[in-house]
Amino acid sequence: MEKEVLIFGHKNPDTDSICSSLVHEGLNKKVGWNAKAVRLGNVNKETQFVLDYLKIEAPELIEKVEEGQEVILVDHNEFSQSVEGIEKAKIRMVTDHHKIANFETSEPLYFTAKPYGCTATILYEEFKEFNFEIDKKDAILMASAIISDTLLLKSPTTTRFDKKALEELGEIAGIDVNEYGLEMLKAGTDLDDFSAEQLINIDSKVFEKEGTKFEIAQVNTVSIEDILKREVELKAVIQKTIEEKGLSLFVFAITDILNSNSEIIALGEKTGVIKVAFGKDLENDKAFLEGVVSRKKQLLPDIDKNI
């Protein structure tokens, strides 16, 4: 029997990482690959809403892969965001919608990267290319991922391809996209029982540029003020993370999904980047960024080019 290929998204998985891994598993089985979706962290409440809606289990949790393990990377390509042991794994395929960085393999592979709002939109197009029928479960998984990554098509990362995909997937799934989407997004903002450490790790990614490491974390909410009530505790945990990981900068974005704005907390030796990148002075380590909701398109590019 062909060796099992593991499919997974990035650490601290979001809805796109989990849902696209599950969809990718089914897609690969249709073309004859022995594939299995797994995950690299805990499932957040937004993603759990989707799994509960479909009455399915989350993929198996893994912490590392052995040398030579065949893998498929979904929703990421940077090794710093991937599983322990990725450098010695055999990467058979990548399906992603982020920038390509710190990525190298010893063998050829299938690599699909498109500047869409969501990985699931790429998978939707692959179903079309292979002329595979999309069933209701996969339609809901892909629709949920698109809703999550584009904030119900409000994010500046949204493309016409995401809009087209979500419209058709909603019809296949038999859901009112706006009603279902808002309920799903709100489920992810229930953060009362999270510790400060858990909050900064709900959706966090480490980036590296010329030996400089920085981290951008993001949490969605319907009330920025409620999150900032824990400001002292959050700053303490962020500072501890900076020291443990050797980071030059940690940016924690608190994003209001209803009004499409973010308040950021920035700590580290490179906080001067915020002024250069966004024209905003930090006041008590914070800055309000009007209209900023996307890490990929609005936070990362300007931080990365100025750090």
Q: Give strand pairing partners of 93.
A: 72, 110
Q: pTM to 2 decimals?
A: 0.84
CA 144, 150, 154, 159 torsion-angle sign:
negative
Q: Which domain holds residue 54?
A: 5-186
The residue out of 166, 186, 206 marking a domain boundary is 186
pLDDT in tens, 86-125: 999 999 999 999 999 888 888 999 999 999 999 999 999 9
pLDDT at 86: 96
- Do 165 and 203 belong to one domain? no
Q: Same structural domain for residues 230 and 129?
A: no
* Contact indicator for 9, 18 with CB cutoff of 8 Å: yes
- Count of the separate structural domains present in the chain: 2
Is there a domain that residue 172 lies in? yes
**Averaged confidence pLDDT in the chain:** 95
Q: Are residues 120 and 224 in the same domain?
A: no
- pLDDT of amino acid 1: 47
Q: Are residues 110 and 181 in the same domain?
A: yes
- Same structural domain, 130 and 260: no
Give 40-104 as a 3 state SS string. CCCCCHHHHHHHHHHCCCCCEECCECCCCCEEEEECCCCHHHCCECHHHCEEEEEEECCCCCCCC
Q: Which amino acid is at 96?
A: D
191 assigned to some structural domain: no
Q: Are residues 28 and 161 in the same domain?
A: yes
Q: Is there a domain that residue 221 lies in?
A: yes
Tell which of 151, 186, 221 closes a domain. Answer: 186
Residue 212 lies in a domain: yes
38 and 169 co-located in one domain: yes
**Residue 66: per-residue pLDDT:** 95
Write the single-letter amino acid at 158. T
Any idea what the CATH number is for the domain that residue 126 is in? 3.90.1640.10
Q: What pLDDT is stored for residue 106 in this prediction?
A: 87
Is the same domain home to 89 and 160?
yes
| pLDDT at 102 (0 to 100) | 81
The answer to the question of residue 164 being in a domain is yes
Same domain flag for 200 and 281: yes
- For the chain, residues with pLDDT lower than 50 are 1
Angle at 130 between CA 145 and CA 169, to 5 degrees: 30
- Give pLDDT, residue 193: 87
Q: What is the distance between the alpha carbons of residues 183 and 267, in angstroms, rounded to a whole number? A: 33
Longest dimension (CA), the chain: 60
pLDDT for residue 104: 86
